[in-house]
Amino acid sequence: MQITMPGSVLKIDGARPEAADELLSSLFAGGGLVLSQVANVTGLEPYLIQNWVARGFLAPPEGKRYTRRQLSRILIISALRNALPLPEICRLLRSINGHLDDESDDAIDDSRLYLYLVRLCADPEQDFAALIADYAEPFRGAANRLEKVLRIMEKAYRSSELRREAEDLIAGLGDCPAIFINNQK
């Protein structure tokens, strides 16, 4: 079953949990991505990505190239932005990773956080302990905080997907027949 990776235009085999990691690894085989490549992966306008950098939502690119961590942060924000306001997304990310433009205080690498989100969105019923079994807490209680953050992210992403589906269904209704409009008077 093909699924779209949250916050991107990329499709992967949803039955293979390692597929997202493999795809992201292949994107970075030659080093970092330039802005136009990030825009192609995410479907976002380049000015929007630059705005997020300017506002401190992620560290600036290194030598005009975005790292996998930075792309993962962009994908997370993109996946959540239709369900949560940007200040709430930032609050959520800060609750697990401190200052958003400083990777040195992160409790989890954004790449891993994103991969956990992809896996959770592909199978929300999976055992959470098994999902993060490879996570080593950098401080006491970090795993509990990570679970809360991931659950919020998964719910927000699902709600944005449901909203998009509802909008598509509404668009398929077409215009209201005149008989209904006339009876409303």
Give me the helices (H) in the chain, please: 19-27, 35-42, 46-54, 68-80, 86-97, 110-122, 128-131, 142-173, 178-183
What are φ and ψ of residue 59, in 5° steps? -65, 150
Q: How many Å apart are CA 9 and CA 42, to the nearest integer?
A: 6
**pTM across the whole model:** 0.90
Q: Walk along the chain (185 residues) and give the pLDDT tens digit of each residue.
A: 899 999 999 999 988 879 999 999 999 999 999 999 999 999 999 999 999 999 999 999 999 999 999 999 999 999 999 999 999 999 999 999 988 888 888 899 999 999 999 999 998 888 888 999 999 999 899 999 999 999 999 999 999 999 989 988 998 887 766 665 555 55
pLDDT at 173: 87
